[in-house]
Structure 1
Amino acid sequence: MQATLYLIRHGQSQWNLENRFTGWKDIDLSPTGVEVAIKAGDELKGEKIDIAFTSTLIRAQHTLDIVLKECGLEDIPVFKDAALNERAYGDLEGLNKAETAKKFGDEQVHIWRRSFDVAPPGGESLKDTYNRVIPYFVNTILPYLKDGKDVLIVAHGNSLRALEMFLEKLSPEEIVKKEIATGVPTEYQLDDQFISSLHFEPIK
């Protein structure tokens, strides 16, 4: 049995455009984000997708809606869960990234944004995000793939980074260097042997 997993990071949000930390704040797509979502849908047109998953945040849901409309797949089942939400940036959410760097220093902000296990004040590290995303993937999404269903996940830069770390068995050092472009579908072909090898172990 083989199944296909498609991953898409949502299109540019209004706060991405304004260079602000977004995290769990519920900000919709910018006009550019809508265009990117349409392009992503065009790229997946004609592919078989049986079921879709997204976060509880509007920018991911709106991207998914556009993609499914472009593909003519509005009738497939869609599940929304906060486990797929972006990494929470806590006290930084809503702040301009350049102004935050001036306030706390470039080095400190870089550590918050790019380290694996250091969380910003009141927020999550990428490690925290991994330990939130992967159990949901293993317990809820993976059984569909095991049954041969082709799955689409539309989520966020860091929730998808966590998922790609798991699927590709990347180290913390490797994953923090990985960039995930908005609106560019990533495809994984998963066979029974690979799926059966996937087990969640919390990162301490």
Structure 2
Amino acid sequence: MKYTIYCIRHGQTWFNHYQKIQGWSDTPLTPAGEKVAQQAAEKLATVPFAAAFSSDARRAIDTCQIITAANCRHDHLQPQKLTDFRESFYGSFEGMFSAEAWYQVLAPHGYKSLADLGPEVSYDQTKDWMKEADPFHDAENATEYWTRIDHGFDYLDTLAHEGDKILLVSHGNTIKSIASKYGDGSFTVNSTPANSSLTLITRDQGQTIVTDYNHSLID
């Protein structure tokens, strides 16, 4: 069985605007975030989605509702929440200014910011370092993170049919991580996807392939 996931990052939130760490913590969409979500909805209006999902964060739920309300199949779509596709959990770093948090995580390893990281440092490594640096060790490491993401894909497999197009509204680091691990080689993952951008994911016989990353839907 083969189907396509239209994975959208939620619209801009207040923590995005203030450049704060936002994983399982949640802030509402800003007016600008609602606007870009609506623009994405207009671009996706003619895509006949078979189903629609979002993480259980309000920012993802609201973005999903904006998109489905404008869709050609809106009368048949009932958005569902999937906790498996939450953002990474950053433990006690949640709500901190992003630059400050990442400095605390990376400095013990000789780096000052995410921009300093070279290809020798994987995204999974930064997850493990985050858990290590968290005084409570509640932040997700790579193993914990991928266990729930893989469970989410397996769950979608049980619901999808051949050729389906499925909407999934998720989060920046989650989409970036999936694209980095499962990219088809046609793009480079250098930055976090923009708010309301599109990443295309194919599930084919249980295998994940990302065919397009951070595609802008904003004019």
Cα distance change, pair 114–60 in 1 and its aligned pair in 2 (3 A): farther
CA contact (8 A) 1:26 1:58 kept: yes
> Aligned partners of 2:166, 2:21: CA distance in 1, in Å?
29
CA contact (8 A) 2:60 2:169 kept: yes
The equivalent of 1:78 in structure 2 is: 79
User: How much has 1:13 moved relative to structure 2?
Assistant: 0.8
The equivalent of 1:198 in structure 2 is: 207
The equivalent of 2:111 in structure 1 is: 107
The equivalent of 1:124 in structure 2 is: 140
User: How much has 1:29 moved relative to structure 2?
Assistant: 0.8
1:153-190 per-position Cα deviation (integer Å, ceiling 9, x unaligned): 001112223433454367xxx76x453221122334x4
Unaligned runs of 5+ in 2: 209-219
1:52 corresponds to which letter in structure 2? Answer: A
Equivalent position SS for 1:152: strand
| Higher share of residues assigned helix | 1
1:5-26 per-position Cα deviation (integer Å, ceiling 9, x unaligned): 2110001111010111111012
Q: 2:193 aligns with which of 161, 180, 185?
A: 180
Cα distance change, pair 103–184 in 1 and its aligned pair in 2 (3 A): closer
2:111 corresponds to which letter in structure 1? Answer: E
User: How much has 1:114 moved relative to structure 2?
Assistant: 6.9
Alignment of 1:143-158 (within 5 A): 143-158=158-173
User: How much has 1:82 moved relative to structure 2?
Assistant: 1.4
User: How much has 1:115 moved relative to structure 2?
Assistant: 3.7
Normalising by structure 1, what TM-score? 0.78
The equivalent of 2:53 in structure 1 is: 53
Comparing 11-20 and 120-129, the one that deviates more: 120-129
Cα distance change, pair 102–152 in 1 and its aligned pair in 2 (3 A): closer
1:86 corresponds to which letter in structure 2? Answer: E
1:27-50 per-position Cα deviation (integer Å, ceiling 9, x unaligned): 111111111100110110111101
1:198 corresponds to which letter in structure 2? Answer: Q
Normalising by structure 2, what TM-score? 0.73
The equivalent of 1:68 in structure 2 is: 68
Cα distance change, pair 116–31 in 1 and its aligned pair in 2 (3 A): same
CA contact (8 A) 1:22 1:93 kept: yes
CA contact (8 A) 2:10 2:60 kept: yes
2:192 corresponds to which letter in structure 1? Answer: E
Cα distance change, pair 3–102 in 1 and its aligned pair in 2 (3 A): closer
1:94-116 per-position Cα deviation (integer Å, ceiling 9, x unaligned): 111244467675926537x9742
The equivalent of 2:212 in structure 1 is: none
The equivalent of 2:97 in structure 1 is: 96
Figure out how many residues of one structure are paired with residues of the other and give that number.
189
> Aligned partners of 1:154, 1:182: CA distance in 2, in Å?
11
